[in-house]
Amino acid sequence: MSPQETIAIIVAIVVVIVIIIVVAVLVGRRRRVDANRRRATEIRQDAGDTALAAKEQEARAIRAQADAKQAEVDAERLRREAAERQDEAQAHRAQADEQLRKADAVDPDVRTTRAGDRVERDAEPATDGRTTL
């Protein structure tokens, strides 16, 4: 083998090695790029999931605020109903007291003051100038 053939073989081997290195670098780079694309896709998916969870949490918060507002409205309505019923109860109590006074005024066995208040049998006679019937 001549020195020129040896040099040609060495150059060919070096060229093949360089081509293999270049291909390996390009394949490695492509794999890294593809891996980065996949990772970016995963990160975007996670971000989307997080954003969706945030929207769900906001919706729950809005619902809770609405429930609280409704509870306030219901409580106010119940307070008003309670006040109305208390007024009705007082009116009925006053009516019952008035009916008892009338009954006492008509009953010959019951002593009353001029104001219509019942005087108990064992009670002392009124000393304030009021007389009993």
Q: What's the pLDDT tens digit per position in 41-64?
A: 999 999 999 999 999 999 999 999
- At 133 the pLDDT is 46
Kindly report the average pLDDT of the chain as a whole number: 89
- At 94 the pLDDT is 94
Q: Using DSSP, state whether 113 is helix, strand or coil.
A: strand
Confidence of residue 38 (pLDDT cuts 50, 70, 90): very high
Beta bridge partners of 113: 132
13: number of Cβ within 10 Å? 10
The pTM (predicted TM-score) of the whole model is 0.49
- At 83 the pLDDT is 97
**How many C-alpha atoms does 120 have within 13 Å on its Cβ side?**
3
Decide: residue 83, CB within 10 A, 0-12 exposed, 13-18 middle, 19+ buried. exposed
Q: Using DSSP, state whether 132 is helix, strand or coil.
A: strand
- At 99 the pLDDT is 92
Report H helices in the chain. 3-106
